[in-house]
Amino acid sequence: MELPRNGECPSKRTLALQIVHNRSARGLQGLIFTRDDRAGEGKLSSRLGLATDAVEAAPGMDLYGYVVEQLSGGSRVDYVIADEAQFLAPEQIDQLARVVDDLELDVFAFGITSDFRTRLFPGSQRLVELADRLETLQVEAMCWCGARATHNARTVGGEMVVEGEQVVVGDVDRPAVEVGYEVLCRRHHRRRMTSASAQAGVLSPDVLPVASG
């Protein structure tokens, strides 16, 4: 089970879709789990305009049981992809590990590790504990100051907030009065200095997808 970790949404989603494309070209069929995709329920999409059908991994859903059900019903499953894996419950991560160990299928889990408060998502923590391999994607997101962005910031009206629910759907495409997300370097995250509050232009549109809208 692999966890590619990344701070930039288009690259993460595009890589997942590339895995699907490459394996489809070899005649392999995958099962894709996703959660809260901006394109709607049961979709895996990229900001580049690519999209494919997926299975919404609802809270409490038995992912291992679902894969077994598909196989028992005659469906072909050669590999499994889990997008937005940070939103999965720890027990669902255990179920994905069981898919690898008991069903001998490759599982590719995509997600980020920490939230806007710099705390690990429970699902990501469990993935780090169980994954056979961790990979950090190389596409680099940048803070408004030009430094490497390492932290998520949740904003309301352009101002950074540090309290609230761990998961709130938002995006940089939303109006400023609504919830949005921006990536910052550690220094500016600590100072709660967003591009708006610093009256600086954002050098990169890349955001860490704490939640996708």
Q: Is 3 exposed, middle or buried (0-12, 13-18, 19+ CB in 10 A)?
A: buried
Q: Are 195 and 201 in contact (CB under 8 A)?
A: yes
Q: Are 86 and 121 in contact (CB under 8 A)?
A: yes
**Cα dihedral 153/154/159/161 (nearest 10):** -100
- Please give the positions annotated as active site: 84
Question: Which among 30, 137, 129 has a CA at the least distance from the CA of 82?
Answer: 30
Question: Which among 183, 205, 180 has a CA at the least distance from the CA of 193?
Answer: 183
Q: Are 137 and 13 in contact (CB under 8 A)?
A: no
Tell me the backbone φ, ψ of residue 52, rounded to 5 degrees: -155, 160
Cross-sheet strand order for the sheet of 30-34: 55-56, 30-34, 79-82, 106-109, 2-5, 133-136
Alpha carbons 66 and 72: distance in angstroms, whole number:
10
